Structure 1
Amino acid sequence: MSFRKRGVVVPQAGASSGLLRAQPNSSSTITSPRPIQAPQGTRPSPLDGRLTTSTGTRSLDALLAGHSGLALGTSLLIEESGTTDFGGSLLKYYVSEGIVQKHTIHVLGMPEAWGRELPGLGSGDDGSKRKKKTADDEKMKIAWRYERLGEFGVGIGGARDRNISQSSSSTTAPSAVFCHDFDLSQRLILPSPSNMHFVPLSTQQDLNFKEPNPVKSPFAGFINHISSHLSNSSPATIHRIVVPNLLSTALYPSNASSPSHVLQFLHAIRALLRKHQSQLTVLMTLPITLYPRNSGLTRWIELLSDGVLELAPFPTSVIAAKPPGASNIHEEPPQGMLNVHRLPIFHEKGGGGGEASGFGDDLSFTLSRRKGIVIRPYSLPPVEGDTEAQEAGLKGDEGTKITKADIEF
């Protein structure tokens, strides 16, 4: 068995021996490649490493198939029944987050006044103190290793958010925030050279009140606008497409609901998402009161969307007021149910709805001024006057009443 000196590289055929001898300290001069810095407002998914961006709602980020955000190159359709506009609030949080992260926003069919109604950033000092106090009060005393578990209603996604923010600190700025807190009572101050583009419909009626051309698609100008901006922008620029109230009769002409127009528009959006899968995300809302889910057109719209969520608000008479002695966990009564029909990008390592993402099958949502839209598991409130069941729950197996000293350990 022959031995070879460590500092000498094995010679290869056709190479001169003078260039193959390594320096004694050559190992110390080898530098590791620099990590690629992710664009502002993005971070890698904890499942497969694809870049994700925030929707502006923390509980919605935790719900999206375990990716802790909306994956780039995907679209999300939000269906809503009734006359409420909770989906419009989700869109405004999505746009506000994009403006704060310096992303390019493209809004279809809405005037510029819609952009002046975006929620502003919440107060940082008060919010941080309140979060710290809540975290200290609700800290689990069972074992020290449970302190990093997600909060109630956040699930596994919340714990992944904290782990990803710590692990990705080398590739992102130390002060970078993935999802900001917004306040509905405040208004977001738009930057002077704003990156928001309000694109009118191609057949939008003017003051002459002429009938729109049924042959011309109302989405043609928007597709040309998006294509030109994506081709002329740098690869590091993130774009967000917002389509509020798709096919609503208050905004769109009657020929917009023709399958030859709306389905062609969705096919074009899907093609742009696949072509620019590291730059583009889409969020749309659809009033299913006008277009029910059992219709063929709505089914095709759902098939051409990567994720589909349905908001079912409660009637005003059903929303119960908060009782005087209620706990701080349920600060606001639920205002509706959230149905998850499909989530974008399932993965073999995990993700998806139900228990895999830390949520149950029954989900509710609440819209508040400071916290925005909060998605949490739905539970029925206790029945008033049922004192026997409440007393039975406070008794042990032998019928004795459980005291505070019995449950503390």
Structure 2
Amino acid sequence: MSFAYFIKGFYLRYEMAGIGATSSFQKKVKAKVVTIPGARPSIHNSQLLLSTGVPSLDYLLGGGLPVGSILLLEQDRHDVYSKLFLKYYLAEGVMNKHMLCLASLDVSPQQIMQDLPAPTDTEPEEEHKVEGDKQMTIAWRYQNQATQPTACYNRFGHNYDLTKSMDKEKVSQADVSLWDGCETTEGKGVLSNNYYWSLLQEIKRKIDTSNLSTSCNKAKTNVLRLGLHSIGSPLWGSEFGRQEREHEWHNLTAFMAVLRAIIRNSFSVCLVTIPSHIFTDPALLSRLHTPADFVVRLESFQGSEKETNPVFKDYHGLFHVVKLAAINSLVPPILDTTDWVFRLKRRKLTIERLHLPPELSETVSRGQEESLQTQLGHHACMGDKLPKHLDF
């Protein structure tokens, strides 16, 4: 009896160990990654990323714009450079055959689509090259450091030439929905503004008809790029003056909150530009920053004192990174510096690190040197000891 129990226990341990049993060993298969043209997974958290069209901006966002996120761009005062960022963003969508949805009341959406930059096979050459004696060599510690942040990150977007427009036939072949506010419906509830309500309905309809919702079981092979230009300007509602005076912006803040919910539950990304310089209520900007994942601000030198400042003679404005989101990670992307500027060259728009020029004025140096010698001579004549701490 004991021998039978011994044999039974041996076979039981034999089966549990999986020796000779094929069902106990399973090949580890990698999880299937969604493949969308023009998208790639992040090297940090495997989040699906899309290019904004500007490689330096992709770097600042952690490699690109994650699917399901919102980028809020605070416009420059004259809305010159912010529209260029929007055109780069839309041009990248056309090149990757993404679905596009463009909404604007300040500028005709048709005109924006006609002025998209043309793609080019090579990187546009650097402009304003200085030769001979005019060329200035920076400090040795910065010689091997790239001015543009793109050198630190592998780009996956396209190159564009601002001096040329994209082929109209290529733009016409793209799946583009244009919204200019001509057809509106009456708002409901908190969204009493007809424009905000109608735009949200158009976005929801586009996502549902394209099966881009995360609740849909259909395989996702494409993504929707939303471009919302100058949201919150006076053209978006006749009640702008009253809202600005009474600090009531229920329609605008509710619009951003609902937009975030729609984007989060769909395969889409959104670039929203707002004229923040016309808002006098600082609390409004903080409420608009909350639903956005990334917030950047353009401070143009055009029409300001910095335009004539020799320190900023090579740049066109400051680029402020206000907010970076931590999506599928514990911390947001960490940048090596906080001082960024943007520069519009003849063929491209770039974001660069701000390098202040060294002070090489001979008059200042000589003046400091003469004052120091005078001070040292006075102490020597008086028989005083030299000061331990010299004030340079």
Shared topology, TM-score over 0.5?
Answer: yes
Q: CA deviation at 1:362?
A: 1.5
- In 2, Cα distance between the equivalents of 1:307 and 1:120? 27
Give the corresponding residue for 1:400. Answer: none
**Mapped contact 1:50–1:71 kept (Cα < 8 A):** yes
Tell me the equivalent position of 1:261: 251
The percent of aligned pairs where both chains have the same amino acid is 22
* 1:229 aligns to 2:206 (yes or no): yes
Q: 1:50 and 1:310 mapped to 2: Cα distance?
A: 25
Where does residue 239 of structure 1 map in the other structure? 224
| SS in structure 2 of the partner of residue 68 of structure 1 | coil
In structure 2, the CA distance between the partners of 1:181 and 1:11, relative to structure 1 (3 Å rule), is same
Q: Which residue of 2 aligns with 1:112?
A: 110
* Structure 2 stretches lacking a partner, 5+ long: 1-5, 7-12, 127-143, 186-190, 212-219, 369-392
How far is 1:382 from its partner? 4.4
- 3-state SS of paired residue (2:35): coil
Q: Quick one: which of 285, 292, 297 aligns to 1:298?
A: 285
1:345 to 326, 337, 345: 326
Aligned equivalents of 1:80, 1:267: Cα separation in 2:
20
d(CA) in 1 for partners of 2:297, 2:59: 17
Contact 1:202 1:218 (C-alpha < 8 Å) held by counterparts: no
- CA drift of 1:265 comes to 1.3
CA distance in 1 between partners of 2:47 and 2:145 (Å)? 22
**For the structure 1 residues 42 and 10, does the alpha-carbon distance in structure 2 shift closer, same or farther, using more than 3 Å as the test?**
farther
Shift of 1:111: 3.0
Q: Which residue of 2 aligns with 1:282?
A: 270
**What secondary structure does 2:74 align onto?**
strand
> Does the 8 Å CA contact 1:204/1:252 hold for their aligned counterparts?
no
| Alignment correspondent of 1:90 | 85
State the Cα distance separating 1:220 from its structure 2 match.
1.6
- Which amino acid is the alignment partner of residue 232 of structure 2? L
Which residue identity lines up with residue 284 of structure 1 in the other structure?
Answer: V
In structure 2, the CA distance between the partners of 1:347 and 1:231, relative to structure 1 (3 Å rule), is closer
Distance 1:70 1:333, change over 3 A: same
**CA distance in structure 2 between the aligned counterparts of 1:62 and 1:334, rounded to whole angstroms:** 19
Kindly tell me: are residues 322 and 305 of structure 1, through their superposed partners in 2, closer, same or farther at Cα, counting changes over 3 Å? same
Deviation at 1:216, TM superposition (A): 4.5
Mapped pair 1:179 → 2:157 = yes
AA aligned opposite 1:379: H
Counting only pairs closer than 5 Å after superposition, residues 9-408 of structure 1 correspond to structure 2 as: 11=15, 35-64=32-61, 67-109=62-104, 110-122=108-120, 124-125=121-122, 127=123, 151-154=146-149, 158-159=151-152, 161-162=153-154, 178-189=156-167, 190-201=170-181, 215-234=192-211, 235-249=220-234, 251-255=235-239, 259-276=249-266, 279-292=267-280, 294-315=281-302, 318-319=306-307, 333-345=314-326, 351-352=332-333, 356-358=334-336, 360-372=337-349, 374-382=350-358, 385-386=361-362
Aligned-partner residue type, residue 336 of structure 1? G
Displacement after TM superposition at 1:129 (Å): 9.0
Q: TM-score, normalised by structure 1?
A: 0.66
Q: Which structure: greater helix fraction?
A: 2
Greater RCO between the two (CA within 8 Å, min separation 6)? 1
Aligned to 1:6: none
Q: Equivalents in 1 of 2:227, 2:260: separation in Å?
A: 14
Letter in 2 for 1:116: Q
Q: What is the aligned residue count?
A: 315
> TM-score, normalising length from structure 2?
0.69
Residue number in structure 1 paired with 2:378: none
Contiguous gaps of at least 5 residues in structure 1: 3-8, 131-148, 166-177, 206-213, 324-329, 393-409
Q: Secondary structure at the match of 1:312?
A: strand
For the residue of structure 1 that corresponds to 2:90, the secondary structure is: helix
Does structure 2 conserve the Cα–Cα contact (< 8 Å) formed by 1:202 and 1:217?
no
Measure, in 2, the Cα distance between the counterparts of 1:53 and 1:388: 50
1:296-328 Cα offsets, whole Å, 9 max, x none, are 3232112221111111111356446999xxxxx
Give the aligned residue type for 1:217.
N
> Post-superposition shift, 1:333?
0.8
CA separation of 1:84/1:112 partners in 2, compared to 1, >3 Å: closer, same or farther? closer
1:79–1:288 CA contact under 8 A, matched in 2: yes
